[in-house]
Structure 1
Amino acid sequence: MTNIIQLTVPSRIPPLEARITALLGAFADHRRTGDDVFWLKENAELLNILECTGQSVAPEALARHAGFYADAVTRLEFFPQYYRFLLSMSLDLEDLGMPGNEAQRMVDFAAREGLAEAELSDLQRAEARRLMSRRGIDPVRDDGLNDRLRAFCARTATFALPNKKAAYELTHIVYYLSEYGRRDPDLPDEAIQSLHFAGLTAFLDQNADLVAEVCIALHYAGRTPPAVWTAWLEQETAAYGITADPSASLNDDYHEYLVCNWHQAVTGSALFRKPVCDDRLHFKSGARPQTVLRELSQAIYGLDRRSGDWGRMRPIMEPSLSPQARDVLSVAVNSSTLFDAYFEGFARAGRA
């Protein structure tokens, strides 16, 4: 009789908690210095993803921000213009397990000083409301704020055109209204259509960062994103290259990497699967076509007479596109049942 011995081969990927610990260390200590506003931005983004997806973070990982946390109230008092970053980090650190009550002191200070009243943008007021409400204070005395945000989302024509600023505002409105997936944002059907339009533009642009944000927003709105987008994001997330290099440029794809992994967590998949180390890291996305949206716009713009009817326009436009652009366009068309409605706005036929 032959005895078969089963060998347990250890995984070459450290456990998730260890990967999170290394990633927090890399952002806390190796990319930028703590007096750089971009340090605040990067670390706030990472902590927010960990908090809103319910990740377990080891005490020693949180301790990398012990110095920041101990000084957070003083920083806020001297740099109130950065109150949203400072509040976000402190709230998330506490909610992830950092012992202390500094965030409450900071929220109380921000309320006393009326910091949210300095915001001109409804979007920034909504963020301030979302942050400070986590410690029981609503700083925005405006019953109509949420209605205005929903009205912005419901203007579908805005999102049938390439407009990254508006698209990111759209996704963040959904995050704030839904409290990052904790409640129904009560969006009208037109807002869901706007998310699909923004996602189609982002997919045509092969912008994984924005496609991921749109898919997350759809999940938080209780809707299922197109399966094609989700599958593409999974493929792109697996394609990231991460290298440790003390001289690496910080002009990299870190934000796209974080958002794509956030999307992985929201869909129930494993996040931060790539091995990382507690060092200066450089994040690089995989190669992808970058000219599709431009080619499509140029093809439409060059026509003397154009129509918003995709069925009529497709055979006219496609011959002028590169094979790569035609392939991406074909996938986009089949990814959403709303493509025909999207193209009607994208073509701008009424302005020809």
Structure 2
Amino acid sequence: MSNIVRFAQRARAAHPAAASGGIAPLLASFAHHRRQPGDAYWLKENGELLGVLSALNRRLPELALSVYQPFVEGAADMVAFHPQYARLILNLITSLEDLGYPGGLGARLADWMLDQGLVDAEVNDLQRAELRFLMARHGRTVAFEGLDERLTRFMSRPETFAIPNPRAAYDLLHAVFYLADYGRKPLKLQPAVVESMLMLGSLSHLEGNGDLLGEVCLALHYAGEVLPPLWLRHLRAENTAFRISPGTCPDSSDCYHIFLVNQWLFGTIEDRAFGDAYSGGPMSIQLNRPAISPLREWSQALRAQGNRRSADWSRMRSLCRDQVSENAFARADLGAAESPMFDRFFARFARASRPVPIWPEARPA
């Protein structure tokens, strides 16, 4: 894992990527101005940015990528001391090399991980799927017995994805991304898996969660499915509503991830991404959102119905009319009119048929 290929030193002003409006300032901001370089959050955020650019099949000039040279040169020491971050480090290096970073370090890191037995250190199937995907990007094969069957079983239960569960939502969508090699190979999913994504899409639209809704649309696109126009309208409105401002975001809790997913989606389906003029240095990405989401309003209103709660959308629409805001009511009406399988989604979201458990009396100690 030595012999790192260094970039040739060039005058920054001579390269157009260094000018305001190119991608280089955005990379520099993520590399230097959001998180402490090299910590787990830094690896996550920079891995997400570079992963989106890789999924869009971008090739970037050396000067733009050179902001990551210190990370690449320190990767061997980092992974030796932090083997628990090996998959994160491999992910970032893989994306860098997809984008044009020279040196072949990814393949050497993959071999080192295999030699160290780190493929056996993953604790769940999604991490195993990601590692298998990353290894395959470097021509290495790892086999996890029964992995695809377990992933398919998990993804084929639409009921899971019709109620708020961020962990399950993340796992569903990223399993699709890994199986599709981020759009590099065709993917045909079972109808139940597509239904699961439609349930999650209806939930995300009702919540106004453009982050999750954008990933749902990407996963559906990779699976060759038609994207609902209602969901795309919501995401296009957000596309024009992001505000990128100079200055540090104190806790890095801005809307950077929603922005990245939005750019990824429209870069994929319309070849239109990262067209803003980015200035160098710290920046924050903001998007106005309601303090209380329509999803939460509807969830609270439905639970308040008690024994009157029903899986029938029309009945619940009437009963909950005065218990939710105009915005929440209008959002649900839009979903009912245009979201695929909305009736199935609402029946599951209402949880009217879910029996209340009757616990046996505890035995005396």
Q: Taking structure 2 as the reference length, what is the TM-score of the superposition?
A: 0.88
AA matched with 2:339: S
Residue 249 of structure 1 deviates from its aligned partner by: 4.1
1:229 offset after TM fit, Å? Answer: 0.7
55, 63, 66: which one aligns with 1:63: 66
> Counterpart of 1:235 in structure 2: which amino acid?
A
The CA distance in 2 between the partners of 1:50 and 1:287, in whole Å, is: 26
Aligned to 1:283: 285
Compare 306-315 and 101-110 and name the one that shifted more: 306-315
Residues 272-281 or 146-155, more deviating: 272-281
- Residue by residue, what CA displacement relative to the aligned partner does 1:274-325 show, whole Å, maximum 9, x if unpaired? 3211211111113346331111112211222222122332222223221111
What SS does structure 2 have at the residue aligned with 1:120? coil
CA distance in 2 between counterparts of 1:289 and 1:249 reads: 19
The equivalent of 1:122 in structure 2 is 125
Q: Percent identity, aligned pairs only?
A: 38
CA contact (8 A) 1:69 1:90 kept: yes
Amino acid at match of 1:38: Y
Deviation at 1:80, TM superposition (A): 1.0
> Following the alignment from structure 2 to structure 1, what is the Cα–Cα distance between the partners of residues 79 and 133?
18
- Within 2, Cα distance between the matches of 1:338 and 1:233? 20
- Code of the residue aligned with 1:218 in structure 2: it is L
* Secondary structure of 2:227 counterpart: coil
Q: How many residues align?
A: 338
Match in the other structure for 1:31: 34
Q: Structure 2 matches for 1:207-246, cutoff 5 A?
A: 207-246=209-248
1:340 corresponding residue in structure 2: 343
Check conservation: 1:17, 1:58, Cα contact below 8 A. Answer: no
Distance 1:207 1:291 in 2: 9
Counterpart for residue 137 of structure 2: 134
TM-superposed CA distance for 1:190, in Å, is 0.7
Task: Give 1:268's aligned amino acid.
Answer: E
Over aligned residue pairs, what C-alpha RMSD do you find? 1.9
| Residues 145/292 of structure 1: CA separation in 2 closer, same or farther (3 Å cut) | same
Q: Does 1:271 align with 2:273?
A: yes
1:10 is matched with none
Please tell me whether the aligned partners of residues 18 and 24 of structure 2 are also in contact (alpha carbons under 8 angstroms): no
Letter in 2 for 1:212: G
| Residue aligned with 1:65, SS | helix
Q: Which runs of 5+ in 2 are unaligned?
A: 1-16, 356-365
Alpha-carbon distance between aligned partners in 1 of 2:225 and 2:73, rounded to the nearest angstrom:
40
The aligned residue for residue 261 of structure 2 is 259
Distance 1:49 1:22 in 2: 16
Is the contact between residue 245 and residue 280 of structure 1 (CA under 8 Å) also seen in structure 2? yes
Asked whether 1:98 is paired with 2:105, we answer no
2: CA distance between counterparts of 1:53 and 1:45?
Answer: 12
Q: Once the 2 structures are TM-superposed, how far is the Cα of residue 175 of structure 1 from its aligned partner?
A: 0.3
Q: What secondary structure does 1:110 align onto? A: helix
Runs of 4+ in 1 over 6 A off after TM superposition: 14-17
Look up the SS of the partner of 1:243 in the other structure: strand
Which one is further off, 273-282 or 171-180? 273-282
TM-score by length of 1: 0.91
